[in-house]
Structure formats: C-alpha cells, structure tokens
Amino acid sequence: MAFGNSSSEDNMMSEINVTPLVDVMLVLLVVFIITAPLLAPQSLKINLPKTDAVQQKDKPQQVSLVVDAQGNIEMDKQHVSDSGLADLLRQRAADPQFQLQIEADSAVPYGRVAELMALAQKAGVAKLSFITLSK
C-alpha cells in the first residue's frame, strides 16, 4: 500500500472536455434561429385599424438638378456653376419642405455625383432623391 500517485488508474481527470458542450450549444442556437421568426407573428396577435388614405397638406417643394454626360449642372432649367449651386441651395434649404431631386446621366462619373451630394449636404439640404428610369 503505497500512498503515491504512481499508478495511472487512480489519477482523476482534472480537465473538462468542452467539445460536447459546444456542440449542444451550437445545435440550440440553430434551433432558436430557425424557430424565432416563426414564433414572432403568432405572438403579436393584433388587428391593425383600417383608415382612409390621407392626402398630405403640404407637398414638398421639389427642385430638379440635372447633370449631363459632361458633368455640367442645371437647376430649374438654368445652367449654374458649383458655387452658384451652393448659394441657391443655401437659400432654398431653409424651407423644411425643400427636396432636391438629382437626375444624372448614366455616363456621369460617380465622383461628380458624390461632389454634388456633398455640396448639397454642406448647404443644408435634408431631403435628397435620385430620378431613374425603370427597366
């Protein structure tokens, strides 16, 4: 009867094997990811009210900014320079209903459109949209 730890049968495992735990957690995660979208609509059993369509009283003041293939800009059918555009946009951006619509030719480089967007943002334009054609 020796009191040493010379025999390998008496040694206890002192490390926890986390591989089965990780496997179980991953399976549970997948189950929750799959079932969560299915449970949400049934848990929110609400009936939304039905109303008549309402017309907006104040229509936004839409101003068109046209950019041709060469990068020249035209606002309200008048040719303007970049500095002139900045001044015009500063004057009109004070109106909360002001909306700038950009119509850029498909041949215009993105850099030019990005410059005009930055110029509009610097002038205080809050509403900006792009006009495109459907396919």
Number of domains in the chain: 1
Let me know if residue 106 belongs to a domain.
yes
- 84 in any annotated domain: yes
Structural domain boundaries, residue 66: 61-130
User: Is residue 105 situated within a structural domain?
Assistant: yes
Establish if 71 belongs to a structural domain: yes
Is the entire prediction scored with pTM above 0.85?
no
Structure tokens at 50: 């039905």
CATH number for the domain spanning 107: value is: 3.30.420.270
> pLDDT of the chain along its 135 residues, tens only?
555 555 555 667 778 888 889 999 999 999 999 888 776 555 445 555 566 665 656 666 778 888 888 888 888 888 898 888 888 888 888 887 888 888 888 888 889 889 999 998 998 888 888 877 765
Tokens of 14: 């002192």
